[in-house]
Structure 1
């Protein structure tokens, strides 16, 4: 990992026992203790995640709204200050460049949060399209650390560290203020399906805030959580991960993400014609979610079969500590997407799977 980048929490992670791995070119903690324990702690109390590898960019100027509405599938024109929005950014053929979050700070001033593996690609894509608009695009990734505090006790922990009452912060809303004396953008978002926040922090003060959250949270059941728990939590919630449920060849129609596409917004947007055509014709493939009924995990790349023939491929697979069984998602032929005869092929033996509509368990991140 000699060439891997390090987040502002690298020393914090190592000091607290993080087992570091290379993820998207970053040295990141896959776990600190046990993935299962970290997962369960997040569901029962709280988990603290270093997600500083994510990228950030600002979009500012008189043409910012028009620009974002052109490059994104969702509609930013209905956003007010302090609102966050999840959207896809698509190619002309309807494939996905990335999925991202948009934060409106003020009229003509937005912050984007980008997937770590796609930052360079995203910025190049955005810069190319920005040339036609009155807008300034700036990569500010190095300015920020990003901490996710997720779980039912997240706001109880925050209450001890912030003079502001954050308990009334609405889902997909954000405010700017101080937590433990550190200036933050506090966003009521997350990737676990739990109540929680994501904290955008000045890079040089990220460790200070993480230590404060850990000190207050540990007596309440908080655990540091790594990439392993982050993945099992997001899959239990049925959230898409770029490079798995979506990619440059799998768009919103196939991935059941048409709710992120505003076909009625004013003006054209990149990928609209292709998405409309695929929606009208019906896709060749669909993403499904499934349970195995056992503990044996079907890893990405595993064949999905029906009637002795391959009909798809597993794109995500892990063990659910809450359900105590393996779960996953797959990209299958649309014609068999609702079949009850689907199975995973594990070393030449077919194991039936149960199609499941996500989330896999009752979750309410808006509670």
Structure 2
């Protein structure tokens, strides 16, 4: 994890415990404040936790995420107006990755939206931005026949991630996991507890996220732990979640995504749907950003793999052979899977082609050579 962990929203006290706080402490987790929540950073070796997710299964507490429910006849139209994506045509039971931008096209947050029923959607925001997203959706609901509800305290969120996750979860539910597609969800019962079972995740592996009542979180966690013993399932903290998502080339808000970044800057212009009916917040500026990206992009997001052993951290300068700054690292860490330090960085377009020579990162005054590669660094076998 980097040192620039988001601070807590003013509306929530510092280091708020999740429903699983006692479980984490009993397991000896190293705890940290993350976006105003007391969260497990690691339980032992973050490398071992990372490798367990890549090879078998890991169990995560994600209860710091922000759940916002949007209901009513105009719920879909509101989300079409408020977000960059087309949500009104999303089938019930499916989910979509999208973003919420400000009027200037800057990214306020990246989101997953689940359609639970014809007139009901669940919007899941990052912990550090949940209050911002809630306020923006509430403001943008004016004139729509829809209600925005803060459900952050109504849910705990547990994730089972890794190639063995279907086998682990399959021991605890009769839900049709085999028929549950990626970015889809269904209501079901897991270990006798009601949950929304979603085939989503932030690790680059197959897996599930379980939205449940806070009172059900601890018995559900214990049941999954027991069911996962044959596969070697282990509890996992935020540290390995960060290296897993980095290897998978997934952006992190506050690093690859900021209000100074448009979806097109981040190479994620696909989330902006100009073909949807009606206007949406930021449309004009996003259209201009799309044109710039098509003709003369100001920068590009690339992957960097170190030739040596030193790690490039967020904020470090990317330089050319002459020492001229050509970009900036957004995320960096040792990669347990590749066995080398890796990083994501925004660089000048002329240096964005994989295999470009002469690229280095200024690591505390020394230019360390890195290879430019295409993202992601790691892609699971399907």
TM over 0.5: yes
Conserved 8 A contact 1:5-1:26: yes
Q: Partners of 1:29 and 1:341 in 2: how far apart? A: 39
User: Could you say which residue in structure 2 is the equivalent of 1:203?
Assistant: 214
Q: Partners of 2:136 and 2:47 in 1: how far apart? A: 38
Q: Partners of 2:252 and 2:236 in 1: how far apart? A: 18
User: Could you say which residue in structure 2 is the equivalent of 1:89?
Assistant: 100
Tell me whether 323-332 or 179-188 shows the greater mean CA deviation. Answer: 323-332
May I ask how many residue pairs the two structures share in their alignment? Answer: 365
User: For 1:80, what is the secondary structure of its paired residue?
Assistant: coil
User: Could you say which residue in structure 1 is the equivalent of 2:349?
Assistant: 334
Out of 303, 326, 333, which is 1:289 matched to? Answer: 303
User: Could you say which residue in structure 1 is the equivalent of 2:3?
Assistant: none
User: For 1:21, what is the secondary structure of its paired residue?
Assistant: strand
Flag structure 2 segments of 5+ consecutive residues without an equivalent.
Answer: 1-7
User: For 1:294, what is the secondary structure of its paired residue?
Assistant: coil
User: Could you say which residue in structure 2 is the equivalent of 1:181?
Assistant: 192
Q: Partners of 2:168 and 2:113 in 1: how far apart? A: 26
Out of 334, 349, 354, which is 2:366 matched to? Answer: 349
Answering whether residue 329 of structure 2 is matched by residue 314 of structure 1, we say: yes
TM-score, scaled to structure 1? 0.96
Q: Partners of 1:201 and 1:294 in 2: how far apart? A: 44
Answering whether residue 120 of structure 2 is matched by residue 106 of structure 1, we say: no
Conserved 8 A contact 2:318-2:359: yes
User: Could you say which residue in structure 2 is the equivalent of 1:45?
Assistant: 56
Tell me whether 33-42 or 263-272 shows the greater mean CA deviation. Answer: 263-272
TM-score, scaled to structure 2? 0.93
**RMSD of aligned residue pairs (Cα, Å):** 1.4
Structure 1 residue 281: deviation in Å? 2.4
Answering whether residue 190 of structure 2 is matched by residue 190 of structure 1, we say: no
Q: Partners of 1:141 and 1:362 in 2: how far apart? A: 32
Structure 1 residue 264: deviation in Å? 1.4
Structure 1 residue 108: deviation in Å? 1.6
CA deviation string 1:157-194 (max 9, x = no partner): 11111122312211111010100001000000000010
CA deviation string 1:130-169 (max 9, x = no partner): 1221110000110110011000000101111112231221
Conserved 8 A contact 1:315-1:328: yes
Structure 1 residue 23: deviation in Å? 0.8
Q: Partners of 2:194 and 2:157 in 1: how far apart? A: 12
Out of 24, 38, 49, which is 1:13 matched to? Answer: 24
Structure 1 residue 335: deviation in Å? 4.3
Conserved 8 A contact 1:295-1:324: no
Counting only pairs closer than 5 Å after superposition, residues 1-367 of structure 1 correspond to structure 2 as: 3-282=14-293, 283-306=297-320, 307-338=322-353, 339-364=356-381, 367=382
Q: Partners of 1:320 and 1:195 in 2: how far apart? A: 19
Conserved 8 A contact 1:104-1:111: yes
Q: Deviating runs (4+, > 6 A) in structure 1? A: none
